[in-house]
Every structure is written in C-alpha cells, then in structure tokens.
Structure 1
Amino acid sequence: MRKVILMMSISLDGYFEGPNREIDWHLVDDELHRDFNDRLRVMGAFLSGRVTYQLMAGFWPTADEDPAASEPMADFAGIWRDMPKIVYSRTLERADWNTTIVREVVADDIQELKARPGGDLVVGGADLAETFLRLDLVDEYRIYVHPVLIGQGNPLFRDSDTLRSLRLVETQTFGNGVVLLRYERA
C-alpha cells in the first residue's frame, strides 16, 4: 500500500512560511534541490492545495527553458510537469499539466487512493497539510529543518489534542546546515 508523505521545509522555530507567506529564508542550494528531486521523482502523485498548485504552475512548467536555471531546477521542472497531481480546491475551475481537481479531502477516498498501485503520495501546501494532519492521514513525515529562526509566521504543526508516536527512520545533514528528519508512524 502506498503511503501519504508530508514533505515540508521549516525554520528551526517550526514555521513553514513567514507571516506574509514568504519563504525566501529557505536555504535551497543545488545539493538540497538534488535530494528533493531524487525523493520526488519516484512519487506516485503530488497532492496540493490551490494556492500551492497555482504557485507551482506559475513557475515550473517552463522553468527549464530559462538559460539561467540550475541543473537541479531544470530537472525538477520535468519532474513536476510529468507527475500526476491532485489539487484539492473548492474554487479552482481548471488545471493543466496532468492535474485532477478534487473538491474535498475525504479520508475514505485517500485510503482508496493509497490502495492503488504506484509510488507514494506527497502532500505539499500549508492548508492541505493541516487538513491531512487533522484527519490523521499522514504515514510519514519528511521535515527539512533550515538553520534559521524567523520568529513568527505559520507553524507547520498546529495545536492538537491527539498524541501521535513516531519512529525516526532517517536523518541527513546537508552542507548548508539543513537537516532532514524522517519519521514514520510508530
């Protein structure tokens, strides 16, 4: 059975974006970008919310046409274009690039999606991640901790009454100081 993987970058103080949705503090160099690419190219689908999808769709479809694009950026452009995408949105009317629009996150539908053949499913986007966490649909966490304190913003993990035990299965330190923490359900 496929897994639902939450893959996000956060600051050391736990924020995935600043108070105005800024992510310019992310320390994504070629080494880290290659790691993202290697992990994402084997996925079965990208699951995102409307905002994340529109940000990605506004840049990645043609990013590899820019002569200034780094090799990892050009590589990811192809990965993103070719990967099946599911966008959860109540308002989005149309989406391109191998994308399906779904109106609601329904736990039974996610279990059915996990039972299909193919690679794992990666969740991206703040609001969608919060929904998947609230519905206890995340099987694995891949958290990239960036060595910055931004002081305020949107935390990845909101207050919850639920205790979830996890098991550390991998750590990796990158040259820029980013640390990957990979956990599975205990």
Structure 2
Amino acid sequence: MREIVVHMMLSLDGYFEGPDHDLSWHLVDEELHAHFNEQLATNSTFLEGRVTYELMEEFWPTADQDPDSPPTMREFAGIWRAVPKIVFSRTLQEVGPNASLRAEVDADEIRALKQQPGGDMTLGGVDLVETFRRLDLVDQYRLYINPVVIGRGRRLFETADDPTDLELVENRRFGNGVVLLRYTVRRP
C-alpha cells in the first residue's frame, strides 16, 4: 500500500513560509538536497495544491539546463519531470506534461490510489495538507526543522482544529543544522 507523506521545511517556530511568501531562510545545501532526491525519486506521485505546483513548475522543468546548477539540482529536475503529478485547483484550467488536474479532493479516489502498487505519494501545499489531514488521508509527516525563528508568516498547522496522534519514527541532524523529524500517524 502506498502512503501519503507530507514533506515540508519548517522554521523552529512552525512556519513553512515567512511574510510575502519568503523561503530564503530554507537551508538547503548539497547534503540535504541529495537526501531530498533520494526520498523523492522513489515516489509514484506528487500531490500538490495550485500554489506549490506553479512555484515548482516555474523552475524545475528546465533547471538542469543551467550549467551552473549543482548536480543535486540537475538530478531533481529529472525527478520532477518523471514523477506524475496530481494538482488540486479550482482556478487552473490546465497543467503541464505528466500532470492531471482535480477541482477538489475526493477522499474515496485518494484511498483507491493508496491501494495501488508503487512508491509513496508526496503531498505539498499547506492548504492541501490540511484538507488531507482533516480527511485522515496523511500517513507520514517528514518535517525538516530549520534552525531559525522567523516570528511570522504562515504556519503549517494554522487551521488544525482537532488532534492528530503521531509517533516519532526517525530523526536525523544534517550538517547545516536542519533536523528531520519523521512521524507516522497512529490510527486505532
């Protein structure tokens, strides 16, 4: 069974982005990027909201064409193009190659996707993460805590109104000070 995994960078105080969508505080070096590539290359699907999809689609399809791009970035550009994407948006009319569009989350469709063979599915986009969490569709949280306090912006669990029981199954410190906390969702 495939699992749905939230893969998210956070500040120590729980923000995924700063004011005006600032991500400059994300500490992604070669070691961390290589780890991301290792994790994401085995995925069967990227599940993304519109904002995340547009941000990624703006840069990654051609990032490996820049000769100054580090090897890990060139590698991820290939991963991005290869992994199928499902984009959830009520405003987009079309998406790029290797992507399909959904106007809303159909929990039964997602549960059916989870039953198919293949690698895990990575979930991106804070509003989409909250929708999947509320529908009890998330299986894992792979949270990368950056050693920075940004004080304001948007929090990952800003609208959560009910508890989710989690179990810490992995932690790892990277050389740049980022800490991975990987949790699985406990279900009765």
**TM-score, normalised via structure 1 length:** 0.97
Deviation at 1:108, TM superposition (A): 1.1
Please state if 1:15 is matched with 2:15: yes
Deviations 1:105-129 (A, max 9, x none): 1211110111111111100112211
Q: What are structure 2's unaligned runs of at least 5 residues? A: none
Q: Which residue of 1 aligns with 2:101?
A: 101
Distance 2:115 2:77 in 1: 28
Distance 1:160 1:80 in 2: 29
Please state if 1:67 is matched with 2:67: yes
Counting only pairs closer than 5 Å after superposition, residues 143-182 of structure 1 correspond to structure 2 as 143-182=143-182
Distance 1:117 1:67 in 2: 36
Q: Which residue of 2 aligns with 1:39?
A: 39
How many residue pairs were aligned?
Answer: 186
Structure 1 residue runs of 4 or more that deviate by more than 6 Å after TM superposition: none
Deviation at 1:159, TM superposition (A): 4.4
Please state if 1:83 is matched with 2:83: yes
SS across alignment from 1:34: helix
Q: What are structure 1's unaligned runs of at least 5 residues? A: none
Q: Is 1:82–1:97's contact at 8 Å kept on the other side of the alignment?
A: no
Distance 2:19 2:54 in 1: 19
Aligned sequence identity (%): 56
Q: More displaced, 143-152 or 102-111?
A: 102-111
Provide the aligned C-alpha RMSD in A.
Answer: 1.0
